[in-house]
A and B are shown apart, each in its own frame.
Chain A
Amino acid sequence: MQPIDRTTQELIERIAATVIEHAGELTELDRAIGDADHGVNLTRGFQAVLARMDIIAVMPLGKALGEVGATLIRSVGGASGPLFGKLFVTIGIRLDEAGEVSRDILVGAAEDAIRVVMALGRSDVGQKTMLDVLVPVLDELRCVTASDLLRQIPRRAQIAAQATIPMLARKGRAAFLGERSQGHMDPGARSSELILGAVCHHLETRQDRLRGGPNS
């Protein structure tokens, strides 16, 4: 009998756990320049995802990511629900169409997803949003050598999230604060960094396990 492949489930659980673990920090960042609900909202969303895990775990990766996105859209409540939701849905659709995962497919999926987020949020790079992490990471994904990928992406994401601190917010409630929005990291940039870090961490663990042989 084939062993059950838990890769997709582990990936999604890792993302959910990371976000939920940092909920307090995300909400505090959002209290400074937003409406103090980013961590609370994302936690509700990812708890809803975990509650549906028995359905999601048996799906192929693309469909599973789509289901994660749809669940976030239904359950988050803030602007982050539709934005992260559509991000997962779009990547899910592209991976599902491709039927496999390669760097080119991932780049194409990420390009599409970023376009969707830009359109929905009517936003662009440099406005102190999640895009300020997603776009630099996409550039990294395009050009970094494969062996460095899992180390470089989290590093790039971290630097990019830090770089939102001096930025002037032009979107969302933070935009009302004008110059007072400077000096705080954007909560959506931080949650994007966390999610990307979780994905890479998961893939690294998996690689180590594969290297260690079938029984480890």
Chain B
Amino acid sequence: MIVSHSPDVAKGVADMVRQMVGKDVPLAWCGGDPGGGLGTSMEAIEKALQTAWSERGVVVMVDMGGAETNSELAIERLPEKKRAKVVVCNAPIVEGSVMAATESSAGSPLDKVRHAAEELYPRM
């Protein structure tokens, strides 16, 4: 699942995932603040989580700042059983989304999907 400050970025990343990885991976995106400007909306993230949900869980790809905080908050509001299966990924949003989706399309478990994306960031 993709959360960006810009709906155009979020949709663009989702388009890349669809084309490069295919249609079988559960995918949702959202972007823009509640007023329609650049930013993120917790309620939009909650909705996207519903769309992206599968029993294997959801990896949330975020761009920066509020995208991450709002995602954390949306996850916190999930029922406990689901909450454990949703992770925010610390990875570049474009490349990370493609890598995570590729890993997921191979049927890998949540941890492995997240790891595939997070490997893209150099160790700090």
The answer on a CB contact under 8 Å between A120 and B69 is yes
CA of A96 to CA of B119, assembled, Å: 45
B residues in contact with A86, CB < 8 Å: 73
Q: A44-B34, A73-B73, A120-B73 are in contact. Are A79 and B43 (CB under 8 A)?
A: no
A residues in contact with B73, CB < 8 Å: 73, 82, 85-86, 120
Partner of B66, one of A40, A75, A78: A78
Could you tell me which residues of chain A, from 37 to 91, have a CB within 8 Å of some CB in chain B?
Answer: 37, 40-41, 44, 73-83, 85-86
CA of A40 to CA of B38, assembled, Å: 11
The answer on a CB contact under 8 Å between B42 and A78 is no
Closest chain-A Cβ to B5's Cβ sits at a distance in Å of 8
The answer on a CB contact under 8 Å between A173 and B43 is no
Q: How large is the interface on A (under 10, 10 to 19, 20 to 34, 35 or more residues)?
A: 20 to 34
The answer on a CB contact under 8 Å between A82 and B39 is no
Q: A44-B35, A78-B33 are in contact. Are A121 and B69 (CB under 8 A)?
A: yes
Partner of B72, one of A41, A80, A82: A82
Interface string of A76-114 (1 = CB under 8 A from B): 111111110110000000000000000000000000000
- Give the interface SS of chain B, mostly helix, strand, loop or mixed: loop
Any chain B CB within 8 A of the CB of A21?
A: no
A residues in contact with B69, CB < 8 Å: 79, 81-83, 120-121
Closest chain-A Cβ to B77's Cβ sits at a distance in Å of 10
- Give the interface SS of chain A, mostly helix, strand, loop or mixed: helix
Could you tell me which residues of chain A, from 6 to 46, have a CB within 8 Å of some CB in chain B?
Answer: 34-35, 37, 40-41, 44
11 other A-B residue contacts (CB within 8 Å) besides A78-B65, A120-B73: A37-B37, A44-B34, A73-B42, A74-B41, A77-B35, A77-B39, A77-B40, A77-B41, A79-B68, A81-B42, A173-B65
Q: Which residues of A contact B (CB under 8 A)?
A: 34-35, 37, 40-41, 44, 73-83, 85-86, 120-121, 172-173
Q: Which residues of B contact A (CB under 8 A)?
A: 5, 33-35, 37-43, 64-66, 68-70, 72-73
For the complex of A and B, 10 pairs with smallest distance between CB atoms: A77-B33, A77-B39, A79-B66, A78-B66, A79-B69, A79-B65, A82-B69, A82-B73, A172-B65, A75-B34
**Could you pull out 23 A-B pairs where Cβ atoms are within 8 angstroms?**
A35-B65, A37-B37, A40-B37, A41-B33, A44-B33, A73-B73, A74-B34, A74-B41, A76-B34, A77-B39, A78-B39, A78-B65, A78-B66, A79-B65, A79-B66, A80-B66, A81-B42, A81-B66, A82-B66, A82-B70, A120-B69, A120-B72, A173-B65
